[in-house]
């Protein structure tokens, strides 16, 4: 069935440095890839998304890249700040009309 | 607009008991989804309603789980009888479309602990 794999499961970076989270997907018909951020005690919140007709999208310090041939997509956070600490989930919109999530990455920003 | 509301936020029950979780989606969102995250793993799909109809319930683990959405508004997810492995965080999400255009809006989740 459809599957989204996410790495790493935990990531610790120095404040001000960049963080990269990588995902792969199995459903070649997937055409929409959202990223969610989950803070403690809250539900996942959509932070950025990318569609299959573009290779890169940027929103301030956050960028996503998509390689459809390799079925890879990545989240890049630059100039990390303490408020970036959270669990991040990648996801793919499958041909079965539902969003399939990765296993999450716990990002910690060291002061 | 009000977001997706879930309650209770936490529930601790004994094995064998019954628990009912409730989700109020964003008004006007026909699509409602239940997901579950168990023990730090992926957020796993349970089922999808379009209005009051179950569009896809392929993720429901077994017949101890029953979801309803009477009238196409709020939804309930009942677990009866609860088992230890049912512990986790249950998320509800809603969307105007089927999630491929605008993504989902999630509630804060219900943390269920079965002891």
Q: What would the pLDDT profile of A19-52 be if each residue is shown by its tens digit?
A: 999 999 998 888 899 999 999 889 999 999 998 8
Mean pLDDT of chain A: 93
B99 pLDDT more than 90: no
A60 pLDDT more than 90: yes
What percent of chain B is modeled with pLDDT above 90?
83
Hey, how many other C-beta atoms are within 10 angstroms of the C-beta on B58?
A: 11
Give the residue from B7, B109, B62, B19 showing the smallest Cα distance to B47. B62
Find the angle CA(A29)-CA(B107)-CA(B31) to the nearest 5 degrees: 50
Residues in chain B with CB shorter than 8 Å from the CB of A32 are 99-101, 103
Which of B41, B56, B109 has its CB closest to that of A98? Answer: B56
CA atoms within a 13 Å half-sphere pointing along the CA-CB vector of A55: 3
pLDDT of residue B41: 84
What percent of chain A is modeled with pLDDT above 70?
99
Give the residue from B46, B14, B4, B27 showing the smallest Cα distance to A46. B4
Residues in chain A with CB shorter than 8 Å from the CB of B40 are 103-104
The DSSP letter of residue A99 is E
CB A105 within 8 Å of CB A44: no
pLDDT of residue A1: 65
Whether residue B103 and residue A96 make contact (CB cut-off 8 A), yes or no, is no
pLDDT of residue A41: 86
């Amino acid at each position: 069935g459809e599957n989204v794999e996410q790495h790493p499961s935990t990531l610790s970076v120095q404040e001000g440095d960049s963080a990269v989270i990588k995902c792969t997907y199995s459903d070649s018909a997937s055409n929409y890839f959202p990223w969610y951020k989950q803070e403690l005690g809250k539900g996942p919140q959509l932070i950025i998304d990318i569609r299959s007709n573009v290779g890169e999208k940027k929103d301030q310090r956050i960028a996503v890249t998509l390689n459809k041939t390799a079925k890879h997509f990545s989240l890049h956070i630059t100039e990390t700040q303490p408020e970036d600490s959270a669990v991040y989930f990648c996801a793919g919109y499958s041909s079965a009309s539902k969003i399939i999530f990765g296993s999450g990455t716990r990002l910690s920003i060291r002061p | 607009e009000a977001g997706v509301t879930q309650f209770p936020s936490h529930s601790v029950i004994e094995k064998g008991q019954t628990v009912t979780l409730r989700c109020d989606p964003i008004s006007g969102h026909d699509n409602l989804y239940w997901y579950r995250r168990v023990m730090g793993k992926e957020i796993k799909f349970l089922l999808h309603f379009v209005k009051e109809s179950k569009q896809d319930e392929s993720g429901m683990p077994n017949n101890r789980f029953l979801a309803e959405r009477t009238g196409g508004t709020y939804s309930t997810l009942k677990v009866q009888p609860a088992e230890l492995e049912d512990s986790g965080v249950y998320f509800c999400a809603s969307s105007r479309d089927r999630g491929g255009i605008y993504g989902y809006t999630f509630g804060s989740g219900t943390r269920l602990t079965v002891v």
